[in-house]
Structure 1
């Protein structure tokens, strides 16, 4: 397994749904890149036994975290604790690129 990767090699887009690409996957961690074009959304959902984080690489996202909603941009980290509904929408005019980490289900 290649232990060093360049995020730009994993960026992509799909017109019908946001783009996902896996960088690393093991029994203990999944690290991926999500790319949302303007108007695309990852609908709110939850993981009952998994914490998840989003790091905003580029762009700006409207995040749902339970009853809270926030708009954050490049350089921010968003934590979605296990059991908390979370999602994101790109309401901006440029691509939203997110580095996403989650522990696979036990």
Structure 2
């Protein structure tokens, strides 16, 4: 088992959001979503993946099935498989989101 310090893998790209892998084992895939100010991920969906998003720091908007949710530090939200979701860092600060994917 590897121990990872989140601070060691915070590497924001200036031109687009980034995903940093943390753990992948069987059906579980955990990573960090890193958004600089104004960075986005367009709406998309997965037919075989449930996802949980936990905000480590910052604030932004996640859209799930065309409904916007402002989520900030310590907020957690579920996007079940088949639901459309997207991200938008609407703040002037970096936004760090822990992503937990479970494949069915």
Cα deviation, residue 67, structure 1: 2.4
- Tell me if 1:11 matches 2:47: no
Structure 1 residue runs of 5 or longer lacking an equivalent are none
Q: Which residue of 1 aligns with 2:23?
A: 24
How many residues align? The count is 104
Cα deviation, residue 13, structure 1: 1.0
Q: Which residue of 2 aligns with 1:94?
A: 93
Structure 2 residue runs of 5 or longer lacking an equivalent are none
Cα deviation, residue 10, structure 1: 1.5
User: Using the alignment, how far apart are the partners of 1:53 and 1:10 within structure 2?
Assistant: 20
TM-score by length of 2: 0.94
| Structure number with higher strand proportion | 2
Dislocated runs of 4+, deviation >2 Å:
none
TM-score by length of 1: 0.92
